[in-house]
Chains A and B, each alone.
Chain A
Amino acid sequence: MIANLPEISMTQTTAGPDIATGRLPDDAYAENFSDLHPLLDPHEALVEADRCYFCYDAPCMQACPTSIDIPQFIRQISTGNPTGSAKTIFEQNILGGMCARVCPTETLCEEVCVREVAEGKPVKIGELQRYATDHYMGEHGASPFTRGAPTGKKVAVVGAGPAGLSCAHRLAVHGHDVTLFDAREKAGGLNEYGIASYKSVDEFAAREVDFILSIGGIELKTGMRVGANLDLAELRAGFDAVFLGIGLGSVNALGIDGEDKSGSLDAVDYIADLRQADDLSTLPVGRRIVVIGGGMTAVDIAVQTKLLGAEDVTIAYRRGQDRMNASDYEQHLAQTSGVRIMTWMQPKALVAQNGAVTSIELERTREQNGSLTGTGETVTLPADMVFKAVGQTLVQADLGGALSLEKGRIVVDADRKTSLADVWAGGDCVLGGEDLTVAAVEDGKIAAESINAALSA
């Protein structure tokens, strides 16, 4: 449940914060949270596929963290072979369906598409990938791969997010017995609990998990959390290899006054509740929202609270808009959804009345000799809810001090091997990653190949 939530009042009072459920007419929720990019119809897909030049040594393929053979899968769509197209995608990325929905393609494959360079209109690679993968999952349901002949080796994969799922699937292809642990009730990690709901409608994350597990040889155990009812040392003793794809379990704090008051919330928690809500109209949302941060999570929470009926949503970011981690596309999405982005603003204090946040004091910032400083000038915005979206951190204690860490993340080599010979890691919890779904998938894939090589030696 959402932490620090004040008593819900359905009637607006001057004294307390204005937080309410059911701000919208009943039918508005389905419309607001419908698919951001609806599936291309077959003719649209063919026309779009025909725009691909089938480049030699294609830049898009090089830009894809999982090296999907993009010209090939697009050509397969254009030849009327969407099944083959999907296989081409899944061969490199078994979470190709989710990546098609959530990848910031405008900074990856589509950014370097020669049509983007030539005319500013890249081939819609992401939407075509979704067309192919949705076709496959709709027609066939099960993974196109078969489990390899059993090797008798046992691997523990901790975390059933994109990295863990990718790793588990590839290990199953090689015939290893995988036990896939996850702390939450459902597998999927951020795909299930984190990403904005209009990017993954109709329980797609859960269906993709089923699709991946259909290969067989993967036993899913939920409600198992490393550091709680799961111990790294015991896992190492009980399995031939361990993969950690545990993500970042904790949220960064702002470190300002009033952070403990009700109405001061972690964006990721609220999004998780939103993703799991059966009825969005039961989710309380403030009339005035301020989001602190500049990344994808900041945009996701801002847009979704706006879609839930918040009247006035502001993202406050401490640097210029060009420095925001949210892509241009995401920033544009926020702004066209009616979210205001205020830049060069850092949080100074949360103002509360009767224990509940009523406004936030922001201080203007500027860059001086490369470092950020406050100017002393402040602005106060009324706020019923303030969301923190300033990054997440690894809960180091969970790992029991056994692994080499740096900057709060697990150190891995090119094969995603940690400082322990039998432990690999990938996804958001490792150092040097891009914190993208697609990067996590690649980590899992590389680690699985490395684990397989080690276990086959």
Chain B
Amino acid sequence: MADLRTEFIGIKSPNPFWLASAPPTDKEYNVVRAFKAGWGGVVWKTLGEDPPVVNVNGPRYGAIHGKDRQLIGLNNIELITDRPLEVNLREIKQVKRDWPDRALVVSLMVPCEEQSWIDILRKVEDTGADGVELNFGCPHGMSERGMGSAVGQVPEYIEMVTRWVKQHSRMPCIVKLTPNITDVRKPAQAAHAGGADAVSLINTINSITGVDLDMMSPSPTVDGKGAHGGYCGPAVKPIALNMVAEIARDPVTRGLPISGIGGVTTWRDAAEFMALGAGTVQVCTAAMTYGFKVVQDMIDGLGDWMDEKGHTSVDQFTGAAVPNVTDWQYLNLNYIAKAKIDQDLCIKCGRCHIACEDTSHQAITSMVDGARKFEVIDEECVGCNLCVNVCPVENCITLEPMAAGSIDPRTKRPVEKDYANWTTHPNNPMAVKEAAE
């Protein structure tokens, strides 16, 4: 069995599956249950200054559901911990003592004043926790008070606070980033400049989950009103993957350790984040939906997959997909693929046809010789992949690359064997002579 042990910025954990700073990590009771279930580490729910914040007493969550009420997106308006600081610190100390092999990182959020950070860092250091995570991401409530994403949206503040933390503490420091920005590389670069040991991302996305059409109020609705909350869960994974990849391949932040967060629900999700450069992953919504037991298959599944691939440790595939993340302009325009429908697998629902016919390239038949049959018309197919995506049968439609030298029936031109991209394309007014990659 592959070795899942992880060492992330000096913090060891038996596996890369950590629980993110959130309600599941708000107190000893939950964290101990999580460790018993097998979680490799936790980021304790964000501590702030006393007196503690208060939460709304109505709904804190809203959700988007898929088929059979499968939860695919969760939104929350909960704030940082609403328990007294001393209680949290006492419990953190106890848990770390009882579970020395697990990662225990403490999330922090205090005002942008140096003394506030000095004070809380000392208290956290006393607990024996493995490190701190700076919550510069929370998009609701705290941001209105100049904390959370209000800091995370200003790279200069990120750098300043990170520098204070590194200056006044020996603990490893993770900076948690908000996705509610235009270019995630800027805050990551700022964290890096401030001396952060790692970044974690993404925090939640500003969102309104829905509108109650009877009350004419956003949901979740608190006494007739709703405020935007933070969106997370499987629905945000693609956004998170892109942001992780952007930081992983940016020349300034390349090599900066990343803890990947955003819709991790299965071992496969975790492997994808790790392939894009994440050294650990943090999970919240999957646990909040199904309970802590979900970690068991994350551990088994990742281990089995690593065995199958011949990886003996997680660092062997961490970042392996990063070199293949590129910009559009460097994609090979001489690569030509055509959709192909496996007639044995086809159930004749016709979705590929109507999607292509109504919204794309009119490249799939609905009738052949008077019979209901869906076939790709190679003369029209641009290889866009829409039919593959809308087909309800897995592997029924595939995109098959054309061999170099064969004639593309659409353009009537031979498929070139050489790589050529937009940078050299004759239609590009900015074209250069030699293709760059």
A114 located at the interface, meaning its Cβ lies under 8 Å from any Cβ of chain B in the complex? yes
Question: Inside 8 A of A118's CB, which chain B residues have their CB?
Answer: 347, 393
Question: Inside 8 A of A53's CB, which chain B residues have their CB?
Answer: 349, 351, 392
Do B68 and A56 touch (CB < 8 A)?
no
Question: Inside 8 A of B185's CB, which chain A residues have their CB?
Answer: none
What residue in chain B is nearest A50 (Cβ atoms)?
B67
A123 to B244 CA separation, bound complex (whole angstroms): 41
Question: Inside 8 A of B392's CB, which chain A residues have their CB?
Answer: 53
Assuming the contacts A47-B67, A50-B68, asked whether A56 and B354 have C-beta atoms less than 8 A apart, the reply is yes
A397 CB, min distance to chain B CBs, angstroms: 46
A54 located at the interface, meaning its Cβ lies under 8 Å from any Cβ of chain B in the complex? yes
Question: Inside 8 A of B347's CB, which chain A residues have their CB?
Answer: 114-115, 117-118
A204 CB, min distance to chain B CBs, angstroms: 30
Q: Give residues of chain B (295-351) contacting chain A, Cβ–Cβ below 8 Å.
A: 347-351
A55 located at the interface, meaning its Cβ lies under 8 Å from any Cβ of chain B in the complex? yes
Assuming the contacts A53-B392, A118-B393, asked whether A59 and B348 have C-beta atoms less than 8 A apart, the reply is yes
Q: Considering residues B68, B69, B347, B351, which has the most beta carbons from chain A within 10 angstroms of its beta carbon? A: B347
Q: Give residues of chain A (50-68) contacting chain B, Cβ–Cβ below 8 Å.
A: 50, 53-59
A50 to B392 CA separation, bound complex (whole angstroms): 12
Identify 27 residue pairs between A and B in the complex whose beta-carbon atoms are under 8 Å apart, listed by A's number: A43-B69, A46-B68, A47-B68, A50-B67, A53-B349, A53-B351, A54-B351, A55-B348, A55-B349, A55-B351, A56-B349, A56-B350, A56-B351, A56-B353, A56-B354, A56-B366, A57-B350, A57-B366, A57-B372, A58-B350, A59-B348, A59-B372, A114-B347, A114-B348, A114-B349, A117-B348, A118-B347
A56 to B353 CA separation, bound complex (whole angstroms): 8
A57 to B350 CA separation, bound complex (whole angstroms): 7
Q: Assuming A55-B351, A57-B372, what are 5 further A-B pairs, CB within 8 angstroms?
A: A50-B67, A56-B366, A59-B348, A115-B347, A118-B393
Question: Inside 8 A of A114's CB, which chain B residues have their CB?
Answer: 347-349
Question: Inside 8 A of B366's CB, which chain A residues have their CB?
Answer: 56-57
- Contact with A55, one of B67, B69, B350 (Cβ below 8 angstroms): B350
Question: Inside 8 A of B349's CB, which chain A residues have their CB?
Answer: 53, 55-56, 114
A225 CB, min distance to chain B CBs, angstroms: 47
What residue in chain B is nearest A53 (Cβ atoms)?
B349
A114 to B353 CA separation, bound complex (whole angstroms): 15
A43 to B69 CA separation, bound complex (whole angstroms): 9
A54 to B349 CA separation, bound complex (whole angstroms): 8
Listed from nearest, the 9 A-B pairs whose CB atoms lie closest are: A56-B350, A56-B354, A118-B347, A50-B67, A114-B347, A55-B349, A53-B349, A114-B349, A47-B68
What residue in chain B is nearest A47 (Cβ atoms)?
B68
Interface size of A by CB at 8 A reads 15
Question: Inside 8 A of B348's CB, which chain A residues have their CB?
Answer: 55, 59, 114, 117
A114 to B372 CA separation, bound complex (whole angstroms): 12
A115 to B392 CA separation, bound complex (whole angstroms): 10
Question: Inside 8 A of B354's CB, which chain A residues have their CB?
Answer: 56
What residue in chain A is nearest B355 (Cβ atoms)?
A56
Chain B residues at the A interface, C-beta cutoff of 8 Å: 67-69, 347-351, 353-354, 366, 372, 392-393
A142 to B251 CA separation, bound complex (whole angstroms): 70
A42 to B393 CA separation, bound complex (whole angstroms): 27
What residue in chain B is nearest A48 (Cβ atoms)?
B68
What residue in chain A is nearest B364 (Cβ atoms)?
A56
A111 CB, min distance to chain B CBs, angstroms: 14
Question: Inside 8 A of B69's CB, which chain A residues have their CB?
Answer: 43
A44 CB, min distance to chain B CBs, angstroms: 10
A349 to B350 CA separation, bound complex (whole angstroms): 56
A47 to B353 CA separation, bound complex (whole angstroms): 25
A117 to B347 CA separation, bound complex (whole angstroms): 7
Interface string of A56-97 (1 = CB under 8 A from B): 111100000000000000000000000000000000000000
A115 to B372 CA separation, bound complex (whole angstroms): 16
Q: Give residues of chain A (11-70) contacting chain B, Cβ–Cβ below 8 Å.
A: 43, 46-47, 50, 53-59
A70 CB, min distance to chain B CBs, angstroms: 13
A190 CB, min distance to chain B CBs, angstroms: 34
Question: Inside 8 A of B68's CB, which chain A residues have their CB?
Answer: 46-47, 50
Q: Considering residues B67, B347, B349, which has the most beta carbons from chain A within 10 angstroms of its beta carbon? A: B349
Q: Considering residues B348, B366, B372, which has the most beta carbons from chain A within 10 angstroms of its beta carbon? A: B348
B180 CB, min distance to chain A CBs, angstroms: 31
A37 to B351 CA separation, bound complex (whole angstroms): 31
Question: Inside 8 A of A117's CB, which chain B residues have their CB?
Answer: 347-348
A50 to B68 CA separation, bound complex (whole angstroms): 8
A135 CB, min distance to chain B CBs, angstroms: 19
Q: Give residues of chain A (106-124) contacting chain B, Cβ–Cβ below 8 Å.
A: 114-115, 117-118
Interface string of A227-257 (1 = CB under 8 A from B): 0000000000000000000000000000000
What residue in chain A is nearest B390 (Cβ atoms)?
A53
A418 to B287 CA separation, bound complex (whole angstroms): 70
A56 to B372 CA separation, bound complex (whole angstroms): 11
A114 to B67 CA separation, bound complex (whole angstroms): 19
B172 CB, min distance to chain A CBs, angstroms: 46
Question: Inside 8 A of A50's CB, which chain B residues have their CB?
Answer: 67-68
Question: Inside 8 A of B351's CB, which chain A residues have their CB?
Answer: 53-56
What residue in chain B is nearest A52 (Cβ atoms)?
B349
Question: Inside 8 A of A115's CB, which chain B residues have their CB?
Answer: 347
What residue in chain B is nearest A49 (Cβ atoms)?
B67
A84 CB, min distance to chain B CBs, angstroms: 16
B422 CB, min distance to chain A CBs, angstroms: 35
B122 CB, min distance to chain A CBs, angstroms: 53
Question: Inside 8 A of B372's CB, which chain A residues have their CB?
Answer: 57, 59
A59 to B373 CA separation, bound complex (whole angstroms): 12
Question: Inside 8 A of A47's CB, which chain B residues have their CB?
Answer: 67-68
A47 to B349 CA separation, bound complex (whole angstroms): 19
Question: Inside 8 A of A46's CB, which chain B residues have their CB?
Answer: 68
A335 CB, min distance to chain B CBs, angstroms: 30
A51 CB, min distance to chain B CBs, angstroms: 8
B127 CB, min distance to chain A CBs, angstroms: 46
Question: Inside 8 A of A59's CB, which chain B residues have their CB?
Answer: 348, 372
What residue in chain A is nearest B393 (Cβ atoms)?
A118
What residue in chain B is nearest A116 (Cβ atoms)?
B347
A366 CB, min distance to chain B CBs, angstroms: 38
A355 CB, min distance to chain B CBs, angstroms: 60
A391 to B349 CA separation, bound complex (whole angstroms): 38
A117 to B69 CA separation, bound complex (whole angstroms): 26
What residue in chain A is nearest B374 (Cβ atoms)?
A56
What residue in chain B is nearest A54 (Cβ atoms)?
B351
What residue in chain B is nearest A117 (Cβ atoms)?
B347
A179 to B111 CA separation, bound complex (whole angstroms): 83
A118 to B67 CA separation, bound complex (whole angstroms): 20
B241 CB, min distance to chain A CBs, angstroms: 27
B332 CB, min distance to chain A CBs, angstroms: 33
A340 to B105 CA separation, bound complex (whole angstroms): 71
